[in-house]
Homo-oligomer: A and B are copies of this chain.
Amino acid sequence: MTPTITAFERSPDGGKGLARDMRVRWALEEVGQPYDVRLLSFEAMKAPPHLALHPFGQIPTYEEGDLVLFESGAIVFHIAERHAGLLPHNVNARARAITWMFAALNTMEPPIVDRAIARLVERDEAWHEQRMTVVEGRIRKRLSELSGHLSDADWLDGEFSAGDLLMTSVLLRLKSSGLLDEYPNLSAYAARGEARPAYKRAFDAQLAVFTAASTR
């Protein structure tokens, strides 16, 4: 059964692949699972039909027969559990890969999102730069710890996994900030993720949606 995911009709990131449908598209491409996409306007995301699928009125959702999921992390996990290629077979290695999924979303992403929100809503405040220094300090602390763990390895724990997929997706949010470049091994790690054919197919697919919306 072909699953259907939802995505922004016109992504606020301008097609840079930073919206959370990208993580799900990438996972589906890694395992070779075709999918359909239903595009949503900002209005439709907050309307009752979509809220019935996603209580927080966001994208992506994932529909497969009777099953409806939201939260990109949970959707990526669902895909990883049902198809080979995103979680190791070894029981302990699998548990560690799942640990990295949660680390990406609950330890690494929150200060990065905090920075994005600050740039969006606090940009004109007199205290913006002062606060930004603190927020970026928090991000650097996490990047430094992650960099120390990764060392010169290709991926976080053995083969590429759903943990790397989510961690790369989170780190790429920092690409335009210059922060990632301060940690060459993390910068190379994120570039390795972007270089994967499945990433490229997913990226092109989300960019095509944005381009089509912009030329209408």
Interface residue ranges, A against B (CB under 8 Å): 51, 55-58, 66-75, 77-78, 92, 95-96, 98-99, 101-103, 105-107, 109-110, 113-114, 121-122, 125-127, 131, 134, 142, 145-146, 148-149
Tell me what chain A mostly uses at the interface: helix, strand, loop, or mixed: helix
Chain B contacts for A106, CB-based, 8 A: 71, 73, 105-106, 109
B103 in contact with A105 (CB, 8 Å): no
Interchain CB contact (< 8 A) of A73 among B69, B75, B102, B148: B102
With A66-B92, A71-B107 already in contact, 5 other A-B pairs whose C-beta atoms are closer than 8 Å = A55-B148, A55-B149, A56-B103, A74-B101, A77-B98
Interchain CB contact (< 8 A) of A134 among B57, B109, B121, B146: B121
Chain B contacts for A107, CB-based, 8 A: 56, 58, 71
CA distance A142 to B122 in the complex (A): 20
Q: How many copies does the complex hold?
A: 2
CA distance A71 to B92 in the complex (A): 15
CA distance A145 to B70 in the complex (A): 14
B145 in contact with A103 (CB, 8 Å): no
Chain B contacts for A109, CB-based, 8 A: 106, 110
CA distance A142 to B58 in the complex (A): 12
Interchain CB contact (< 8 A) of A110 among B58, B114, B121: B114
CA distance A57 to B146 in the complex (A): 11
Chain B contacts for A105, CB-based, 8 A: 102, 105-106
Q: Given A55-B146, A56-B145, A78-B95, does the pair A70, B103 have CB atoms closer than 8 Å? A: yes
Least CB distance, A79 to chain B, in whole angstroms: 10
CA distance A73 to B95 in the complex (A): 11
Interchain CB contact (< 8 A) of A95 among B67, B126, B148: B67
Chain B contacts for A149, CB-based, 8 A: 55
Chain B contacts for A102, CB-based, 8 A: 71-74, 77, 105
